[in-house]
Amino acid sequence: MSTNHNNHAALAAAFNKDEPRVEWHDQTLWWVRKKRDIAAAKVPDWEALRDTASRIKDNVLSNLSGYLRQFEEEAIRNGITVHWAADATEHNQIILSLLQKHKVDKMVKSKSMLTEECHLNEFLHENGVEVIDTDLGERVVQLAGEPPSHIVLPCIHKKKEEIGEIFHEHLGTPAGNADPQFLTHAARLHLREKFLTRRVALTGVNFAVAETGEFVVCTNEGNADMGAHLADVHIACMGIEKIIPQRRHLGVFLRLLARSATGQPITTYSSHFRRPRPGQEMHIVLVDNGRSVHLGRKDFRNSLKCIRCAACFNTCPVYRRSGGHSYHTAVAGPIGSILAPNLDRSKYADLPFASTLCGSCSNVCPVKIDIHEQLYKWRQVIVQEGNATAGKKAAMKAMNWVLSNPSVYHGAGRAGRWFMLNAPFTVNNGLNAWWRQRDMPVAPKQSFGEWYKKNKH
Amino acid sequence: MSSREKILSAVAANQPAPRELPPLPSAAPAAESAQGSAMPADLDAQFIAVLESIGGEAYTVSGFARIGTILHEKFPAAKRVISNCPQIQPFAEAASASEDPHTFEDVDLAILPAHFGVAENGACWITESQMLHRALPFITQHLALVIHRRDIVADMHQAYDRIALLESAVAPYGFATFIAGPSKTADIEQSLVLGAHGPISLTVFLLDEQLSDAGFF
């Protein structure tokens, strides 16, 4: 059972205390969603493209073991060392042993949600390794001692004044300067020194091609490339579901990814790594961490198609108003809410309920994952397995009794209308969760059933 | 049992029944204009418009002399200029591919050839053999890429067809990338800033020897 102090509703309530910030967060992410719409509308065969992407991923999931073997063989042929990690612990241990082998205790890292999932930074810190996150947004939250709140826009929950303060404290920028251009330039200088002096760079992977053994990393900042090309050792970490069959399939996914994420026609850099450069070591860590089990769940395996564009975050009315940290998991938002229960059903029992089931997430998903349907299905699994909270169980029982007894239902409706009309304070108070962020509507004098009886002749 | 065996056998046991790969969308028709001709003109206009919308700049030029002039005027303060285009020297220094990439730290401007551009997204495809060193297109403060005006494909499907062709003609690349505009970020309150870690500016030159420079100089 989820604990009250750490569930989505409680964390969202904390985020909602600052109303102007919630308003800004909501509007900003909706603006990103609108940019996505404009970009998608410019591609005449957009819907066919989504369908193709989804079907390529169907093929990937149906032959994942074959593609993994093929990718491994090709990558080794290209001179890349391939590692396999069954879970987060093994993944972290592999990274640490590579660092130890090279006697290195400092590393630069570009964005990798997988390493967030595995809590790599904390693990390496405990083992005396300094990790510098080089994506600007990730560096901001790292300096603030927080996890990212969005997989594409890691510090979208922060205002520029707060970032100015963080940079003043850690990078020595002038107090009170909150100009994005100035702060970005300060980060550029600060991180350039790190890129030039670190011997090991870790990157994520957007796509890995079974046919050629190459992998593709997409960034706008160029931080993955700055790290990887200046380092003696490049370690790339990927979940096993990131495989695609052939290089030409990249044409489909690269058309969809950035348009869905930010409304750009493509990210600034889409880098194809196939062989280490002379004298460089290149490693790939293939991580399972629950994915092979998830693959066996017929109703839920489609979530493994995700290409991490975050379109479902930006469109979600709940995410936009509750903030990424309220999901208490590395990948937040609607997709995170269907991925997390796979890892720990009791810890993340609250997440499938953090949704209105409006279906907007499924409508924008570039690989057509049935996100809202899976949220609904997870709710049933969670309740059946006894992971729902006591309050929710009691409410569901009461609802079941009311809805299956017509006379009780009509009586309850009449009572509700009478109280809302004559004693509004009985619903407009803190005990009613519906009242907290909204005004209750004025209740009609009669139900439709009553009106119909009177007027049917 | 090793993790590799464990993962592969769990995946094999849990993966669903085989599903066929779908046919890929056919690449956009080469000539979309009503006249059925002038395809390069249409594509380069689209390429330039998209590139400008993502913060890049484009010039259609008759030759390398013109490129040298434009860059000289655009970057008068550039101290260290490196090029992999022999035609552009002595304007730029030629660097050796075997140099330690860290020595490129002070490069102000790099001028590199690329294979082709993509009209739908303003990206250029550049492979390792064209960039002197993998780090150079990223570490330089400003980047200029040179493609032929006719080497613009309509979309990413055509792009990968072209990449396959290139690969059958020359050796496979060890590293290659699409570059679309200057390095950028909007991580601070969604305010767009050009020049995150990589180049602050990107200029793409579209070469067309049949152009006349009369009137330009």
How many angstroms away from the CA of A355 is the closest CA of chain B?
25
Of the candidates A25, A27, A84, which has an alpha carbon nearest to the alpha carbon of residue A323?
Answer: A25
pLDDT grade for A2, boundaries at 50, 70 and 90:
very low
Which B positions 158-177 lie with beta carbon below 8 A of chain A? 159-161, 163-164, 172-177
B2 touches chain A (CB under 8 A): yes
pLDDT digits (tens, 9 = 90+) for A307-318: 999 999 999 999
Asked if CATH classification 3.40.50.10420 holds for the domain at B37-207, the reply, yes or no, is: yes
- What does the pLDDT read at residue B38? 41
Which B positions 81-100 lie with beta carbon below 8 A of chain A? none
Tell me how far apart the alpha carbons of residues B91 and B112 are, in angstroms, rounded to a whole number: 13
Which chain B residue is nearest to residue A304, measuring alpha carbons?
A: B15
- What does the pLDDT read at residue A433? 77
User: How many H helices and E strands in chain B?
Assistant: 5, 11
- Percent of chain A exceeding pLDDT 70 equals 99
The answer on pLDDT for A1 being more than 50 is no
Is the Cβ–Cβ distance between A148 and A116 less than 8 Å? yes
| Interchain CB distance below 8 Å, A247 and B164 | yes
The answer on pLDDT for A380 being more than 60 is yes
pLDDT digits (tens, 9 = 90+) for A4-41: 457 999 999 999 999 999 999 999 999 999 999 999 99
Range in A13-27, A213-227, A258-272, A385-399 with the lowest mean pLDDT: A385-399
| Interchain CB distance below 8 Å, A62 and B189 | no
pLDDT digits (tens, 9 = 90+) for B49-106: 999 999 999 999 999 999 999 999 999 999 999 998 888 866 777 777 778 899 999 9
**Which residues pair with residue B125 across a beta bridge?**
B116, B178
B49 touches chain A (CB under 8 A): no
CA contacts within 13 A on the Cβ side of A174: 5
Residues from chain B contacting residue A41 (CB–CB below 8 Å): none
**Enclosing H/E stretch for B176:** strand B175-179
| Interchain CB distance below 8 Å, B25 and A140 | no
The architecture CATH gives domain A45-89+200-308: 3-Layer(aba) Sandwich (3.40)
Tell me how far apart the alpha carbons of residues B159 and A253 are, in angstroms, rounded to a whole number: 13
A41 touches chain B (CB under 8 A): no
pLDDT grade for A390, boundaries at 50, 70 and 90:
confident
How many angstroms away from the CA of A134 is the closest CA of chain B?
9
Q: Which pair of tokens denotes residue B195? A: 């020049």
Is the Cβ–Cβ distance between B153 and B42 less than 8 Å? no
Is the Cβ–Cβ distance between B178 and B120 less than 8 Å? no
Which B positions 181-200 lie with beta carbon below 8 A of chain A? 181-191, 193, 195-199
pLDDT digits (tens, 9 = 90+) for A305-360: 999 999 999 999 999 999 999 999 999 999 999 999 999 999 999 999 999 999 99
| Interchain CB distance below 8 Å, B189 and A69 | no
Strands (DSSP E) contained in A7-163 are 81-85, 106-109, 130-133
| Interchain CB distance below 8 Å, A188 and B139 | no
Mean pLDDT of A210-220: 98
Among A184, A266, A296, the residue with its CB nearest the CB of B121 is A266
**Which residue, chain included where needed, has tokens 């089990």?**
A293
Residues (pLDDT < 50) of chain B are: 30-38, 214-217
| Interchain CB distance below 8 Å, A271 and B185 | no
Among A62, A86, A183, the residue with its CB nearest the CB of B6 is A86
- What does the pLDDT read at residue B33? 41
pTM exceeds cut of 0.80: yes
Is the Cβ–Cβ distance between A127 and A151 less than 8 Å? no
Residues from chain A contacting residue B6 (CB–CB below 8 Å): 86
Enumerate the domain spans of chain A: 4-34+310-390, 45-89+200-308, 405-455
- What does the pLDDT read at residue A5? 56
**How close are the terminal C-alpha atoms of chain B, in Å?**
73
Tell me how far apart the alpha carbons of residues A261 and A253 are, in angstroms, rounded to a whole number: 12
Tell me how far apart the alpha carbons of residues A86 and A270 are, in angstroms, rounded to a whole number: 28
Which chain B residue is nearest to residue A267, measuring alpha carbons?
A: B180
Q: How many CB pairs under 8 A join A and B?
A: 246
Mutate to test the interface with A, among B32, B155, B189, B191 (most CBs of A within 10 A): B189
Strands B142-148, B184-185: pairing is unpaired
Which chain B residue is nearest to residue A190, measuring alpha carbons?
A: B197
